[in-house]
Structure 1
Amino acid sequence: MSKELKVPQSYWNPYVCGIGLGLVLLAAFVVMGRGIGASGAMSSVVATGVKTVSISHAEANAFYKGYLGDGTVSPLKDWLVFEVLGVLIGGFLSGKLAHRFKFKVEKGALLTNNRRFLYAFVGGIIMAFGTKLARGCTSGQALTGGALMNVGSWIFMIALFAGAYAMAGTFKRLWA
């Protein structure tokens, strides 16, 4: 019995995807009364975890208390948590349906897997710190803040792209 090789489908047109993302953002404003983002979901999960470990600490901390609310509804029922779960599940299904799903480590030839994981972890920590400092994740700042014409969101995105462009040369050699 031979195994049939499935050819990956081509990527979608980025302009069509951009229009679709804009419509999703518009629907979020109409249905939920606010835009989209991911950091609020992560904060809800962290606040719930802290409360699980130490109720007194979570209730005494203003940051966690903001996500825990009055305690009658679990913060894990926040719609942003379901949004992020939907993104993860949708990405998985999209990859499977397009025959593009596989486990692999994207890295340059000069980089080991362990070093790639270390760089990804350190970059994630820096991004998480920046997310809280900027009071929102990249998606929330760019999509929601940009759509609302928030000056801070536009400055954030310009700085993000300028910083990425400035650092690209430094890290390019690792991907050669």
Structure 2
Amino acid sequence: MNEDRSKKYINPYLGGVLLGLVLLTAFYFSGRGLGASGAIKSAVVASVETVSPTHVETTDFYKNYKESHAGGPLKDWLVWEMLGVLVGGFISGAFAGRLKFKVEHSPKVTSKIRLIFAVIGGIFFGFGSQLGRGCTSGSALSGMAVLSLGGFITMAFIFGTAFALAYFARKLWI
């Protein structure tokens, strides 16, 4: 039997257990859970500081964020976590034979339209993560791990909103 390795994914139950173990390990070693939006915020602060250091020194948000991260914003462990996610995803895709540079979309839309909607969705999700004081990983996953009611509510709203909007966005994929 010739199995197509490009279609083989990890068992979702095993993946969930492994994700839980990663989350537990993060709590044990760092005292906090996982999160991606903090890494993005660190990268933005470092970028703005490179382009306009005086703006960082005169703006409370940037100044406070920089002062709260000794050694600079890119020394934050969340930045290294996200780099690990990117490198790990690349390595996983390479080993599984799924490392291809292509845009998956419905035959009814172009790659350009699919990319535009992906960018718009990313912007909305980034904006929402700042309003909610964290991304899915930080607010929902890590919040639920410590039995926070806010974590459960966040997860319900994330999946509820995705389910409600899936009907309208489905033509981008099918």
The two structures share one fold, judged by TM-score above 0.5? yes
C-alpha separation in 1, matches of 2:19 and 2:68? 33
Distance 1:70 1:154, change over 3 A: closer
Q: How far does the alpha carbon of each residue in 1:11-55 deviate from its partner, in whole angstroms, 9 at most, with x for none?
A: 111111111111111111111111110000100010111111222
Please tell me the residue identity of whatever aligns with 2:60.
A
Following superposition of structure 1 onto structure 2, how do residues 1-176 of structure 1 map, counting pairs within 5 Å? 7-8=5-6, 10-69=8-67, 73-176=71-174
Q: Is the 8 A contact 2:69 2:76 kept in 1?
A: no
Is the 1:43–1:67 contact (alpha carbons within 8 Å) kept by the matching residues of 2?
no
Evaluate the alpha carbon distance shift between residue 70 and residue 168 of structure 1 in structure 2; reply closer, same or farther with a 3 A threshold: closer
Q: Aligned-pair RMSD on alpha carbons? A: 1.7
Q: Which amino acid aligns with 1:98?
A: A
TM-score between both structures, scaled by the size of structure 1: 0.90
TM-score (norm 2): 0.91
Per-residue CA distance 1:84-138 (angstroms, 9 max, x = gap):
0000000000010111111110111111111111111111111111010000011
Could you tell me how far 1:153 is from its partner in structure 2? 2.0
Structure 1: segments with no counterpart, 5+ residues? 1-5
Letter of the aligned partner of 1:122 in structure 2? I
The alpha-carbon distance between structure 1 residues 83 and 70, as it changes in their structure 2 partners (threshold 3 A), is closer
Q: Matches of 2:58 and 2:143 in 1, distance apart?
A: 30
- Quick one: structure 1 residues 55 and 96, their matched pair in 2 at CA, closer, same or farther if it must change by over 3 Å? same
Q: How far apart are the structure 2 equivalents of 1:72 and 1:36?
A: 20
Distance 1:11 1:48, change over 3 A: same
Structure 2: which 5+ runs fail to align?
none
Residue 117 of structure 2 aligns to which amino acid in structure 1?
Y
Give the whole-Å Cα distance in 1 for the aligned partners of 2:57 and 2:173. Answer: 46
Using the alignment, how far apart are the partners of 2:17 and 2:70 within structure 1? 38
Could you say what secondary structure the match of 2:109 adopts?
A: coil
User: Which amino acid is 1:24 matched to?
Assistant: V
Say if 1:105 and 1:51 are closer, same or farther in 2 by CA, change over 3 A: same
Partner in structure 2 of residue 3 of structure 1: none
